[in-house]
């Protein structure tokens, strides 16, 4: 259970790990935009090669990437099959009612498939090599301009990093409460939906009270340590931009240029 919520960071020390989270987040967003430039076989080929190289550069086992794709595989296949049957154009190979398999249909469904998988792979590269705290720090920097609109970015970031820090503790509490309920004969794994929801309520209530206690304690401790809401603070943890981040951005800029050159207009 903890795997899903905490994110799936896997410690490592390849070049991707040395990159700044800001660069990685920007590159991921850039990738999701430029992926729509690809529209022919050659551009899709370059897109795939660049993505797979990035995957390879993490030096992580292919299995962990497959774990990223697996939960979505039915959605991807379903979308691809829809494309396959409903796109018309080019040579028609098969035809039945409103369904048909055409030249364009085959091509589009393969393109959609590649597009999906590549987006998942690139975002998996980000989440596997970046801790949730780094992502929160990176997002804080990226969202900084919102500060001019009076959005309390620094406060939101502090709340985020504290929330991230308490996820394992709350999970721990949830497991403990579940075990306590189980010891009293509760059964969480059988029965219909209604019954299951019923058996979850006795977990949620103590969990909710537990988090309130944590929140009150934490607020007191923060105040005792001189935290003033809305006051200026200095920062101990800072992000450092290095040559690896230029490599990162350079890599994706190069991909953008190649896609612009190879796509059909």
Q: Reduce the DSSP state of residue 57 to 3 states and report it.
A: helix
**Going along the chain, which residue ranges are E strands?**
92-96, 99-102
Using the minimum distance from each CB to another protein, give the nearer residue, 118 or 134. 134
DSSP H helical segments within 35-131, as ranges? 41-57, 62-69, 73-86, 103-129
In the window 86-145, what residues touch another protein (CB under 8 A)?
133
Phi then psi dihedrals of residue 41, to 5 deg: -60, -45
* 175 touching another protein, by CB under 8 A: no
- Give the whole-angstrom CA distance, residue 129 versus residue 60: 9
52 binds another protein (CB under 8 A): no
Question: Which residues on neighbouring strands pair with residue 94, listed in sequence order?
Answer: 101
Among 144, 195, 196, 233, binds another protein (CB under 8 A): 233
Q: Which is nearer to another protein, 168 or 191 (CB)?
A: 168
Rule CB under 8 A: say whether 264 interacts with another protein. Answer: no
CA 109 to chain centre: 24
Q: Which of 33, 201, 230, 234 binds another protein (CB under 8 A)?
A: 234
Among 28, 100, 161, 256, contact with another protein (rule: CB under 8 A): 161
d(CA 241, CA 24): 11
* Near another protein by CB under 8 A: residue from 213, 230, 240, 265: 213
Using rule CB under 8 A, residue 157 touches another protein = no
Q: At what angle do helices 103-129 and 21-34 cross, to 10 degrees?
A: 170
Q: In this complex, which beta carbon is closest to another protein, that of residue 218 or of residue 257?
A: 218
Write out the residues near another protein by the rule CB under 8 A: 133, 161-162, 164-165, 168-169, 213-214, 217-218, 220-228, 231-238
């Amino acid at each position: 259970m903890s795997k899903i919520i905490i994110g799936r960071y896997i410690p490592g020390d390849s070049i991707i790990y040395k990159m700044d989270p800001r660069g990685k987040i920007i590159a991921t967003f850039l990738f999701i935009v430029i992926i729509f430039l690809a529209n022919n076989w050659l551009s899709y080929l370059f897109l795939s090669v660049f993505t797979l190289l990035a995957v390879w550069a993490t030096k992580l086992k292919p299995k962990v990437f497959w774990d990223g794709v697996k939960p979505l595989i039915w959605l991807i296949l379903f979308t691809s099959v829809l494309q396959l049957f409903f796109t018309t154009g080019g040579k028609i190979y098969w035809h039945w009612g409103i369904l048909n398999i055409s030249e364009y249909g085959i091509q589009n469904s393969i393109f959609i498939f590649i597009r999906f998988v590549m987006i998942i792979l690139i975002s998996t590269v980000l989440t596997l090599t970046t801790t949730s705290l780094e992502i929160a720090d990176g997002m804080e920097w990226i969202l900084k301009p919102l500060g001019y609109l009076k959005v309390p970015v620094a406060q939101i970031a502090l709340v985020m990093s504290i929330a991230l820090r308490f996820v394992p503790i709350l999970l721990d509490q949830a497991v403990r409460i579940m075990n306590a309920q189980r010891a009293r004969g509760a059964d969480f794994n059988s029965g219909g939906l209604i019954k299951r929801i019923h058996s979850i309520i006795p977990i949620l209530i103590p969990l909710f009270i537990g988090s309130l206690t944590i929140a009150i304690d934490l607020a007191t401790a923060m105040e005792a340590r001189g935290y003033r809401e809305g006051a200026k603070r200095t920062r101990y943890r800072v992000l450092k931009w290095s040559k690896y981040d230029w490599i990162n951005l350079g890599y994706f800029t190069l991909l953008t240029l190649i896609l612009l050159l190879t796509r059909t207009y």
